Chain A
């Protein structure tokens, strides 16, 4: 049984679904950020495997994955700094506690 592009895309879709479930259902801001990382990771798997199968010479997808990693590293850094700022203000990392903008 050979492993081809559909197997990799399936793996990536399943990881993305699990990450999406976590990002939508968790109440802790840190868990939501970690689930977002999982989703970004699934997207990167997709980019790298498409790069390997479609443009193996120019490696376009690998560069896309590198820049996607840069953006998600910046995102996790800023997100965790924001979590710390919220914690200092509200003494909690629960998303339910952040309701200042609720009408």
Chain B
């Protein structure tokens, strides 16, 4: 008999994530949508904790719930001239809905067929210390490349968003 994930916690977090995502699509207000996205990101951090990925949960809260949410809200604020502009007409987009539903349906069928192979949860999950050791031994080169990518993205973002006098 193997270890189990706590079912109630999982269902609560899944409900929070899916409900937040649906509300994000259902609301007409862009600012409300940004806050619903923030809620989805926090629920995802909870799911990472459930999967004993503590470091990723921390990064998720710092990067997505912190930096990305603030950045999104700032851009919404800077690109709205009046408060009423936040409330937008609601395009249903039946074609997009059908396409997304079709893809999701195909993936769900694939998951049900995949089910019998991997069901049991393995016992051991290493902690943050092992994660750090792996990060700076096996994944050293990708880590350096990632820092370079972030630097280039930072410079590019400043250049694009910069002032008028160029």
Contact = CB atoms under 8 A, between A and B. Distances in A.
A38 B103 CA distance: 16
Contacts of B63: 69, 73
B75 A28 contact: no
A6 B111 contact: yes
A24 B95 CA distance: 9
Contacts of A54: 118
Contact of B64 (A21, A41, A77, A84): A41
Nearest to B37: A34
- Name the interface size band of chain A: 35 or more
A81 to B, nearest CB: 4
Taking chain A's interface residues, is the majority helix, strand, or loop, or is none over half, making it mixed? helix
A78 B100 contact: no
A11 B11 CA distance: 10
Contacts of B93: 21, 24-26
Interface of A: 1-11, 13-22, 24-28, 30-31, 33-34, 37-38, 41, 44-45, 48-49, 51-54, 56-59, 62-63, 65-67, 69-71, 73-78, 80-85, 87-88, 93
B45 to A, nearest CB: 10
Contact of B18 (A15, A25, A26, A51): A15
Given A52-B125, A58-B134, 7 more contacts: A5-B118, A22-B25, A34-B34, A49-B51, A53-B121, A56-B122, A78-B153
Interface in B1-56: 4-7, 10-11, 14, 17-18, 21-22, 24-25, 30, 33-34, 37, 40-41, 44, 47-48, 51-53, 55-56
Contact of B68 (A37, A59, A66, A78): A37
Interface residues of B, number: 86
Given A20-B100, A59-B134, A13 B4 contact: no
Contacts of B71: 76-77, 80
Contact of A45 (B33, B44, B107): B44
12 contacts: A15-B40, A25-B93, A30-B30, A48-B51, A48-B53, A56-B123, A59-B53, A63-B142, A66-B56, A71-B146, A84-B78, A85-B160
A78 B121 CA distance: 39
Contacts of B76: 30
B132 to A, nearest CB: 11
Nearest to B55: A62
B108 A81 contact: no
Contact of B5 (A3, A27, A34, A59): A3
B51 A74 contact: no
